[in-house]
Structure 1
Amino acid sequence: MNSVKKVFLSFILLSSSFIVPLKAGGSDKPCLKRDEFISVFLDFPYHNRFIRESIDIVNYVRDRKLSQVHVKITRHHSGSAGSNYVISLIGRQRFDGMNNEITFWAPGTNSDDQTRRGLLERIKLGLAPYIANTSLNDQITVNISEDLVAAPAQEVEDPWRNWVFEIYGGANYYEESTKSRFNSRWGFYADKVSEKWKVRIRPYFNINTSSFESDDETVENENYRHGFYGYMIRSLGDHWSAGLFVKMLSSTFHNMDFNVETTPGVEYSFFPYSEATERAITLVYRVGMARNYYMETTIFGQDRETLLQQSLDLSFNFEQPWGSVRAGLEGSHYFHDFDANRLELFSRFNLRLVKGLSLSFGGNLDLVNDLLTIPAEEASLEEILLQSRAQATSYQIYTTVGVAYRFGSSFSNVINTRF
């Protein structure tokens, strides 16, 4: 037994001679102490693990109140053209008041890897001023391409003139012994985004079929929704913009053989558009005309009609270190009958209350009095169960609530991808 113990102890000592130098940093590189690192809170869902793995000279913490630098990213889609990421670095504790903002444009042709590496480089750039104010500043070097500095200023020639196009399509099929379902969709995007103009052209097509078998019968259903959506918006300064919106629709669900609608509108932003990534309050007024051709006579005895409508939309959007708030209120009515109206209210809140505790809640409330396209003939049981056409209702309500509390270690530096 003593000989076994001696062999076992010898094995441990031999293993330690290899393990200890590795943990202590046996290479020629300087061994940095974790307590010298700045504490960083990553406040975004995009490529979080990749960023933490790639930038390992900071301490990542699980709560913004524990951080010295709060890194927040908001993403703004520009249709199929791509996405614009705004990286906000907010100084806390010793860096209070030391804030910075960096933007990164990811074209729609980017792969996920290209996008995450682009974000990584800009986050590194944003963290550099904070690390430069620590004892680790001698570990930072900044390289600027000489070719970039020496290159003469010139306009970038774009043969596409900011236009981006996308063709898409897809389908899925599901089958069991007594039922089957087929869904398909396809369409086309054309987008133009510039400082002055925002334009979209989008035709789309959807076909859905389903079949259910019982002991004595087979229920089959086929519906489609084809349409067009487009707009042309012109910037009129830091607070104003105007646009024209065009819609077309042919849908079995909406009892619409064909519909065309043109709606001009104007928007006022209470804050400059340049601050929209952090705070925005906008008021939008639209007035438009629609020409409808129905598949079946409506509950108001109409086979076709021309409608005039106006709407007013007030919306709020705040992205702050304490959380985010999105809310809006929209009212609309038809001119031929003011009782044919609609009021929509929506809200989304995500609040960080105290250390580790966050609350999210939201809801939609629609008071509906403008369903003019409902067929006069009552829906069959099959149509109700299959939800193949719109049903009359006076309101719609949707609510959601959630709470989360995180506690334990303040640090989240370790990445483990096993399994």
Structure 2
Amino acid sequence: MLLSLLQTVQCTSYYLLSIFLLFASFANGQQVKTDSTILAQKQAVINKPEIFEGNRLKVFVDCSNTYCDNTFIRSEINIVDFLLDRIASDVHILITSQRNGSGGEQFQMIFYGQNRFKNTTDTIKYNLDPNATDSESRDLLLKNMKLGLTPFIIKTDFANELNIQMKRPEQKAGEKKNSTTTKDNWNYWVYRVGSSGNVNLDKVYKSNNYRANVSANRTTDKLKINFSIRANSSKSKYEYETTGGTEKFVVKNSSYGFNHGMVVSINQHWSYGYEANFSNSTFSNNKSRIYLSPAIEYAIFPYKLVNNKFLTIRYGVDYTRNTYYDTTVYFKTKEGLTGHNLSANLSLNQKWGNINAGLSYRNYFSDWKLNNLGINLNVNVRVTGGLSVYVYSFGGLTRDQIYLPKGGATEQEILTRRRQIA
């Protein structure tokens, strides 16, 4: 009897324990599983990508370093939400560009994952042909932006909205497949020809201004060469009433010049080169000006990081040979001068904004009081959400205007800026 009672209690305890465990498993949102089932499901969880359900992907496009057609981008990518608040976005796209070796531009897109994608970052680089139109430029930017956003979109409920197509270049019948690099028929040279002009015709004021320029540039990873020719002509005619009747005053100025420069890269930090030019300017009293300056430059950061940050320090010596139209304030009609120049340039393109700053200094060896100091600063920092702080400032201290003609300027010359004034 006692043995039977103990068996009954043991059986009842077993069933009660089983029922308790069953309810406990349901309370945790789970079901009782065998060891093999649990192992299989753990493996499935490991292999399955994390899916973020619900909200659309939130994207912030940062084009502070280059131009983007945001209206076009928003109209072509309509399965994401474009925000003005970078902090609230899931993806922060930082777009920068720099001149490349072919004379075109190299674009870089960094996709910074944030919030639910905080551990995801990707970078896409592509080159834009120097002869590309604005339409081709924005189409290529859109294509690469779509590619970069794909890994983020496939982890949302909108993955089914993607339609990926892959195409290979069409091959004509009998044509052999070419696996070698296409030769540049222009040998990396880029040529540009430009001209512009404007005419104003008022009753008491008439003016015309014409400009023209030609340039040839060759840029590779190791060598950069440039040549340019420019010319400018302007004429202004003023009419005003005086006690003696109508007076007319005419201002004519012209200038032209030839510039040449070369830079040779030694490694990721050092480079050297020179600058040479010849110029003429009636406004600056320069009948002829010959300038030659060899220089060396050091980059604090490697050149390969130029899209995101660079800080360069440049030092050079220079020789200037001037011939003047009129005798200068230093009683010179021609002279040769030697000097040196030092400059530093900083550029930062980061998620929080961008900073561009420059500092330059030069003086003549014959008189260190004849110097020139210039500084500029451009800061654009996003504080929070749609709030940004923008600062632009520049200034200079000019004490090397050795070309100024002696004698004071007339009232008319001051008002019309007929010539360079101290």
Closer/same/farther in 2, CA of residues 358 and 34 from structure 1, 3 Å limit = farther
- Out of 181, 194, 198, the position equivalent to 1:155 is 181
CA contact (8 A) 1:200 1:231 kept: yes
CA contact (8 A) 2:53 2:157 kept: no
Q: Distance in 2 between matches of 1:79 and 1:387?
A: 41
How large is the Cα RMSD of the aligned pairs? 2.2
Bigger Rg, which one: 2
The corresponding residue for 1:288 is 318
* Letter of the 1:42 counterpart: V
> 1:66 is paired with a residue of what secondary structure?
coil
1:182 aligns with 2:208: yes
Q: Any residues of structure 2 matched to 1:109-258 within 5 Å, and which? A: 109-146=131-168, 153-215=179-241, 216-258=246-288
1:39 aligns with 2:58: yes
CA contact (8 A) 2:54 2:156 kept: no
CA contact (8 A) 1:36 1:136 kept: no
Q: Distance in 2 between matches of 1:130 and 1:305?
A: 66
1:100 aligns with 2:122: yes
- TM-score under structure 1 normalisation? 0.81
Q: Deviations over 1:345-392 (max 9, x none)?
A: 111111111222111112112112111111112212222111122111
CA contact (8 A) 2:85 2:384 kept: no
| Long gaps (5+) in structure 2 | 1-51
Closer/same/farther in 2, CA of residues 333 and 299 from structure 1, 3 Å limit = same
* Letter of the 1:82 counterpart: G
Q: Distance in 2 between matches of 1:320 and 1:360?
A: 15
CA contact (8 A) 2:352 2:381 kept: yes
Closer/same/farther in 2, CA of residues 214 and 183 from structure 1, 3 Å limit = same
Q: Distance in 2 between matches of 1:141 and 1:272?
A: 39
Q: Deviations over 1:210-231 (max 9, x none)?
A: 0011122101010012112221
Q: Distance in 1 between matches of 2:53 and 2:115?
A: 18
Closer/same/farther in 2, CA of residues 183 and 34 from structure 1, 3 Å limit = farther
Q: Distance in 2 between matches of 1:182 and 1:79?
A: 38
Q: Deviations over 1:258-286 (max 9, x none)?
A: 01111111111111111111111110111
Number of residue-to-residue matches in the alignment = 360
Q: Deviations over 1:89-145 (max 9, x none)?
A: 211112224222222322232221111111110101111111123333344454444
Q: Distance in 2 between matches of 1:155 and 1:354?
A: 47
1:297 aligns with 2:316: no
CA contact (8 A) 2:102 2:189 kept: no
- TM-score under structure 2 normalisation? 0.81
